[in-house]
Structure 1
């Protein structure tokens, strides 16, 4: 069975559990995960971005489709970071234009999922997010297991993710620009800012990427 098939089945189950909690009423639910399974499975390393919640919230939203079609100016930073990591060497002249075809192709090879599927606003209530993540930790664990990424990049979600995945007892290492841990041999989880954070610009991303490159040499 393909990962995409399993992913959709899991999201259907997750959505249905929310409907039952609401007494059978329809509820907002944001689907997410791999943008393109073939692109993801062929990528090296496989990269999963762990986000908070998708804004704006609404019924029928699907982050996978939105990424495929192109959304949000700050996703250009994600493309840039993904491209830089995949090359595992210096990338002189790499464009920072979010509409660059060279960069947007990177989106087809990533996995991006939110800890909360409810959706939210431009600013996240982190206490509420943590409560939602712990309540749905079984679903989060199952979704993450589908992808088994070599590199997990937590975008302002590091501590919530660790507890939801029951990784809280794993040793966290402090680098110059990132905190990180090795969840299994050769598979790493790192802590970064959310890409919408204005100070998390391309220079800071380059610093983070340089530390990440050390994991895969």
Structure 2
């Protein structure tokens, strides 16, 4: 069964009796499966979308928006080029075309399937991650990602996957990660819109991936 068919079946069951349910997952199945490293980005929630038919995958196929998805596209391009590494000047200005090309290669899903505000209410995120943990685990397993990057969601994903009793390991530069299966990694990282220089985030993540995966 294709990734899309598995997502469709999962979402039909998961969304039953819910007023709002935002779909997400593999942006483009073929591009994802043909990428050199399967990358999954785990986000918190959609900001401000109340349309029950809204689908994150459709949004990202059009390039998303710069505030969040510029950095995700940078990270994707940089990880896929490792062990080679581009200078920051190659990433300082990101076009919509660049985002479209890079985002088609990833999985991106939210732990909380209903929309929220600009600032996530941590209690709501924790409750959604706990209440929906079996559904989250099923979605996570669909993608068989090599590297899952938690964008401010590390503790919640660990709990949902039943890994909360396992301590994080730490890279030499202080990034938390764990190897939950042979050659399958979860990295606990910052949200792409964190108030930190984009270049610092970019090379910190690349350093972590280089250390734990290559």
TM-score bucket of the superposed structures, by smaller chain: over 0.9
CA–CA separation in structure 2 for the residues paired with 1:99 and 1:179: 31
Instruction: Provide the TM-score with structure 2 as the length reference.
Output: 0.92
1:114 paired with 2:110, answer yes
Structure 2 unaligned residues grouped into runs of 5+? none
Contact 1:150/1:187 (8 A) holds in 2: yes
Instruction: Tell me the residue number matched to 1:138.
Output: 134
Structure 1 residue 100: deviation in Å?
5.3
Structure 1 unaligned residues grouped into runs of 5+? 20-26
Instruction: Tell me the residue number matched to 1:161.
Output: 157
CA RMSD of aligned residues (A): 1.4
Matched length? 209
Instruction: Provide the TM-score with structure 1 as the length reference.
Output: 0.91
Structure 1 residue 95: deviation in Å?
2.6
CA–CA separation in structure 1 for the residues paired with 2:213 and 2:81: 11
**C-alpha spacing 1:216/1:129, structure 2 compared with 1 (3 Å):** same
Match of 1:70 among 49, 63, 75: 63
Instruction: Tell me the residue number matched to 1:61.
Output: 54
Deviations 1:195-216, CA, capped at 9 Å, x for gaps: 1112151223212211211222
Contact 1:98/1:104 (8 A) holds in 2: no
* 1:49 aligned counterpart, secondary structure: strand
CA–CA separation in structure 2 for the residues paired with 1:174 and 1:155: 17
